[in-house]
Structure 1
């Protein structure tokens, strides 16, 4: 049976990390969960204590999601084979019950193949605005095969290596990798990856969604990811 190594990039993620880690336990019960790597970018809260108590391997390095994902994958690849799989999950994302059986079936179905899968985007918010955003993300994925990192990517480890993995980009590292995977090798999964809606509630769904769309358009037009990341943080 192939194993699944999980990489979680963190930065002051103490609030959400316990739930994210707990949601991985079904894969452990099914007997195929490999190492869980927390790749930290300089947390000053209890993130690393939580990771240690949960038995995670820890990688520390420079802040930046692309670099952290790459570092975490590098650490995981030292513990799994090319026939195993990697899953990248954000620290504020909780996998919905049922994901582990679906992922196991996906991995078995595509054993030894260059394939990747992603989960259904969902928010921990029952508001109509949250449902509209979820619908917009479904449409984006259907039309453009463009899932984001908060949808949890599952990818064959050897395929990840051949693609060159995540690049140390400060923003849109997820889009960059998905475009290299290509639609033909990317499969949507039914289970949900439930992400925190805190940032959307704080900034406003409409405002944050419009800003993200503008940044994505600028990225596709060739804008520097560093400048886009600075605009994203403002």
Structure 2
């Protein structure tokens, strides 16, 4: 992996709720990838949720309280990195707007937002990583999550790094930019619509005949992996960080340990 030549910046790793509760290996993969660039990594133990579920539900009071906690825990780092476009979109795009009526907190939110990145965009855009030292003999397809694609402009970055994984072949998903139907609380509020969206998505994924489905957001992956499994599909799902870090020895998402 191409290493960063200058001093060792200290990165605060925002693990995310879903990684913590359902797929800790993604956090360890993110840690490995960041450390390989020469950065140090710290995982603040006081971190919790980014506040997006409350924010999307209109509960600004709770979202503000959570945002204050996150800012306090992470603002001392050189960079804040998360293996999730969804959570990082909340931190980098929506935190400053939350505090429009509180100038001090708004300034703190803006400062943190300016140094906050989704994992793959941090590796490529900040650290200058152009290749990874990983091997995986598999055909994969890739889903672009809504927040990562539309808020953070993440599209080519993961594909550039995946192209350097020895043995890996990428088959593009024709509907890669189409929402999977998860959308945080959307899948709860509009379950019938969400179910139809993931049904179509799973059919498109299966049609690629790929071995693996990759993405950068655990919410999307859990939703699609669950549907693929219920359909009896042979396509498995993994977070892109696990592949880039060469950490694919663990069962895929949704499989028994």
Q: Which has the higher contact order (CA 8 A, sep 6+)?
A: 1
Q: TM-score, normalised by structure 1?
A: 0.34
Q: TM-score, normalised by structure 2?
A: 0.31
Relative to its length, the structure with more strand (as a share) is 1
